[in-house]
Amino acid sequence: MANFIHKPQSAALAFMVAGAVWFVVGAVYGMFSAIHLVAPEFLPHVAALVFGRERPVHVNTMLYGFTGTMLVGIGLYYLPALLKTRLWSEPLAWVAFLFWNLTVLSGPLGFAFGYTQGREYNEYVWLADVSLVIAVACLIVNTVMTIVNRREPQLYVSIWYFMAAFLWTASNYPLGNVMWHPATGAMPGLIDSLFLWSWGHNLPGLLITPLATGAAYFVIPRVTRTPLNSHTLSLLGFWLLIALYSHIGAHHVLQSPIPNWLKTVSVVDSVSMVLPVSIVVINLWLTARGYGGRVWNDPPARLVMGGIVWYIITCIQGPLQSLPFLQRVTHFNNWTIGHAHIAMLGFGGYIALGAMWHVLPLVSGRPVYSNKLINLQFGLITFGLTGFFIVLTMAGLVQGSAWHNGETVLRVLPQLSPFMVMRAALGVFILTGSLVGLANLYLTLRPARDEEPLLRGEEAA
Amino acid sequence: MKMTPAFLIVGALLVFWASTFIIVGLPSLTMKDTPSDIWRPLSPLEREGHRLYVKNGCSYCHSLFIRVSDWDIGAERIARAGDYAGIEPAILGSERTGPDLSQEGGEHSDDWNIAHFTNPRYTTPISLMPAWDFLTKHEITALAAYVQALGGKDADVRQKRQREWKRQAQAAYAGGVDRNIEWLHAQVPEVWRRMPNPYPATEAALQRGKRIYQQLCINCHSPIGDGNGPAQPFLGPPPLNFTILRRHLVENRYIGGIFYYQIMNGITGTAMPYFKKHLESEKIWDLANYVAVSFLGYTDANTEPRGIDASYEGNWQNQYQPPAVDQSP
């Protein structure tokens, strides 16, 4: 055991495996809640399985458990690799692993039994908050000390994003979760909605986005075997992300009685988010230009590039739906749910999966068991998610425009059932995709397998 | 520009805190938590209900603010900052699978709410809300108390009205079946009591009425209209048994206008909600025809006094005639 936690890159591998497991758990909960939106009497009288308790488990397990955990694991590999050194302390990374996963575990164990703060994306109870902040603090110390002990003078853009993700989370998470009020984790009155959505939107923006962007910046140039298109563009993208993104949480309560100047700031900056996003996308696109075949023929890189495509889709949608006139129709309904799914699974999840498959042979020293299974996973998730996007957007437009026409929620509800049935059916594909990924991961790491020499370099050539 | 470790760390934190100060810091310093005109403190039971609302994730389907653009529920009162004074956490919500609840207090009677939380489909057959019957009786009461308090002083006015009419409705019900129906009819304005159903009870119209009955009415009034739906044990006075109305012909017919008025306006104090927000006029008339034909056996559709048929209506002969009047003294 002691040897194991000192083994180089063992923590990185542990984070990635945990991410794959949480993906399955989160997808199972997603499946249950999708079924409950079709058949509310499915498994009745089970307190732990009602929609209001399933949803936070699904959301938090997917955010922190799947996307977050997997991306941290990938970062723990590329951070020392890009700095030409070892991770400063492998045991410290294991401590972070322990506390991080305790927080995620508190979701299925706690929310299901009513131990929740109930604020969207801030549901973890105080003890779980503390656990997460400890994990992030460990990761900060580890990252800083690895940077200090580096043998590569230049800091590559992935490192900035990895470092900053934890700095921002450590500053922002306690604030958004109002950790100085442990009893409710909330501020009294309307101001609470600003704290809530500050973290609610910064969670994808300042934790998942930098981690995923960092991973994409690592994988794409490696696969195309060309240098990054532009250092200056990546600088611009990095600083614009933090200057703009932290402002936009208030667009979730745009039509509530918060101050007008605040609405203006959040709308203007939401629209400006087009800039840092297009910078990342253009930079990676230009890096891969002329080498599209290499990206397409490499299943992990194909997933990462797929994530970039979802990124641009979600970030065209985001600014549009934050415009007050359009938000009257797109807010409060399944449109937003579709947006959240393509942001978190499409952007964060695709890049996490792709980068994991890319990094896995480098971490474990074994080739991925089957590229065909990666392709199968890509196909399953893409079919499911594209369907989600279409179905939920359509359902949202039906709801939003009906309400705008003066219809009541009660009247629109029966019209949603075909969409909800399709959504549950499509959820099967995503759940299967998560299981295929876990199986592939298990078969890759299975100990009793005949060792084959690592052929990756030759294959790619 | 060269990214040194110090520049990266200090810069990233500085920009973050500057941005965050604008979006969270400034509002914290300037927003006032002043109660609005309808605000009132929650009672201990209502506070308990609020905790249950939070911990069971009600906010994932129910929003707590009415927007300017919400025509259906927003005509009377748009959310104001002071409505949320002191509520911790005041979760506004981001999704409306179920309706907005911020002005819900007093919309329904207490017993309707209890039945609704025990199993939402008892009172609203098309609901997607989970049944909360694993909560204790006390917890369901607390949840109902919280929902009845939403809307503050406005909700108190509505609740007072509910309780006042509940007292009268219960007294009428205690007076016996016939006395109860006389009382119910007496609450309908004279002009409606004399108005026959203006729409023909064609097959299509009866089918439309049946669908609406199954979507909205069936779990109180039951599939055979005898008022013994699954919600019945929770409600006092219980849902009306339509078949009894056969004894209450007015001038040898049962008046469609009475059905129409009661469906449209509900019966405040009882569990009968109003449907004027949800159903257009013709749908209410169709439902009235369906109830009359299915459970009474006849309808006064197309009888005098009547106006000109609508242009789309064909020639329709009323085959649902009332039984012959017994003339013997």
Kindly report, residue by residue over A278-306, the tens digit of the pLDDT. 999 999 999 999 999 999 999 999 999 99
Question: What pLDDT sits at residue A421?
Answer: 97
* pLDDT tens for each residue of chain B, 329 residues long: 788 999 999 999 999 999 999 999 999 999 988 999 999 999 999 999 999 999 999 999 999 999 888 876 655 789 999 999 999 898 999 999 999 999 999 999 999 999 999 999 999 999 999 999 999 999 999 999 999 999 999 999 999 999 999 999 999 999 998 889 989 999 999 999 889 999 999 999 999 999 999 999 999 999 999 999 999 999 989 999 999 888 767 666 678 999 999 999 999 999 999 999 999 999 999 999 999 999 998 898 988 888 888 888 888 888 988 876 665 55
Report d(CA A302, CA A308) in Å as an integer: 10
With contact defined as beta carbons under 8 Å apart, do B200 and B301 qualify?
Answer: yes
Report d(CA B21, CA B14) in Å as an integer: 11
**Tokens encoding B89:** 């956490």
Smallest CA-to-CA distance from B83 within B62, B105, B111, B98 is with B105
Sole residue written with tokens 């003066």: A406
Question: What pLDDT sits at residue A241?
Answer: 94
Q: Do A257 and B79 make contact, defined as CB atoms within 8 angstroms? A: yes
Q: What is the dihedral of CA A200, A201, A203, A208, to 10 degrees?
A: 150
Cβ-based contacts of A411 with chain B (< 8 Å) = 278
- C-alpha neighbours within 13 Å on the C-beta side of residue A454: 10
- φ, ψ at B101 (rounded to 5°): -110, 0
Report d(CA B36, CA B67) in Å as an integer: 17
Burial annotation A356-368 (CB, 10 A radius, 16+ → b, else e): bbbbbbebbebbb
Task: Write out residues 94-153 of B within 8 Å (CB-CB) of A.
Answer: 94-100, 120-121, 124, 126-134
Report d(CA A390, CA A387) in Å as an integer: 5
Report d(CA A259, CA A262) in Å as an integer: 5
Cβ-based contacts of A115 with chain B (< 8 Å) = 55
With contact defined as beta carbons under 8 Å apart, do A165 and A210 qualify?
Answer: yes
B99 contacts: CB under 8 Å, gap ≥ 6: A408, A409, A410, B62, B73
User: Based on C-alpha coordinates, what's the Rg of chain A?
Assistant: 21
**ipTM (interface pTM):** 0.92
Test mutation, B15, B68, B108, B139, chain A, max A CBs within 10 A: B15
Query: Is the full-model pTM beyond 0.80?
Result: yes
| Contact status of B186 with chain A (Cβ, < 8 Å) | no
| Contact status of B40 with chain A (Cβ, < 8 Å) | no
Adjacent-strand bridge partners of B253:
B250
Residue B328, min C-alpha distance to chain A (Å): 49
Question: What pLDDT sits at residue A458?
Answer: 45
With contact defined as beta carbons under 8 Å apart, do B56 and A114 qualify?
Answer: yes
- C-alpha neighbours within 13 Å on the C-beta side of residue A437: 36
* Parts of chain A with a pLDDT under 50: 456-461
Residue A379, min C-alpha distance to chain B (Å): 30
Question: What pLDDT sits at residue A457?
Answer: 46
Cβ-based contacts of A395 with chain B (< 8 Å) = none
The shortest CB-CB distance from A119 to any of B73, B89, B132 is to B89
Task: Write out residues 197-256 of B within 8 Å (CB-CB) of A.
Answer: 215
Q: Do B20 and A406 make contact, defined as CB atoms within 8 angstroms? A: no
Report d(CA A445, CA A348) in Å as an integer: 24
Can you say whether the dihedral through the CA atoms of A265, B32, A119, B57 is positive or negative? negative
* Angle between helix A157-176 and A191-202 (nearest 10): 160
Report d(CA A102, CA A109) in Å as an integer: 10
B52 residue type, one letter:
L
The shortest CB-CB distance from A40 to any of B67, B81, B129 is to B129
Grouping H, G, I as helix, E, B as strand and the rest as coil, residue B253 is strand
Report d(CA A139, CA A144) in Å as an integer: 8
Report d(CA A352, CA A367) in Å as an integer: 18
In A225-349, which residue ranges form alpha helices assigned H by DSSP? 231-245, 260-272, 274-288, 292-296, 299-322, 324-330, 334-341
B315 contacts: CB under 8 Å, gap ≥ 6: none
Cβ-based contacts of A404 with chain B (< 8 Å) = 69, 71
